Chains A and B, each alone.
Chain A
């Protein structure tokens, strides 16, 4: 089946540790995105990539890093510099990179910092 997969579903991290969230898509989409959702809030954009080996900061990029070495994959690293990393993280992709493409979302990863 075509779709977007995220792993793990739940992740627990100790303060001071970096952690990497996986996002893979087999939809042959050009663009990929990472969003963060806090309880009772909408989603906010962390990073996005419109093409392999290129990515741009979103609205809340501080404390996060990404890479885009393959079209299918867009991993997100939550670093120890992120002040409040506990949140629900959602990955998305779209086929058109001109701003007119419909975005589709993966099932998300819930990160808890202990």
Chain B
């Protein structure tokens, strides 16, 4: 099956700093989502981005499908950005998502 690798596995930032989270995948996809998992376990949808670029406030994402990677940018980080960020991809006609192992982000005040 498709492989999803996220990097770096852990990231520590000072409040106000910018960061880039990367997701590499091993096959063509027709679904790619970025999630933020909060301390209570809730998965919050950040972006649905199988290709192209989107922005939402301080967050933006770019997926280059032909090169099989996606990037999540966080600008002017805040302590509330802390948590685990997951990339998940879907392929073909099958609806299921394959998740990466996540990136743990800690933003220090």
Contacts and interface: CB of A to CB of B under 8 A. Distances in A.
B86 interface: yes
Interface stretch (A14-22, A62-70, A72-80, A96-104): A96-104
Q: Which of A42, A43, A108 has the most CB of B within 10 A?
A: A42
Interface string A87-105: 0101000101111111111
A98 B31 CA distance: 10
A99 B43 contact: no
Interface residues of B, number: 28
B43 A97 contact: no
A108 B41 contact: yes
A44 B95 contact: no
Nearest to B6: A42
15 contacts: A33-B97, A42-B86, A42-B88, A42-B101, A43-B86, A45-B98, A97-B95, A98-B95, A99-B93, A99-B94, A105-B35, A105-B42, A107-B40, A107-B42, A110-B41
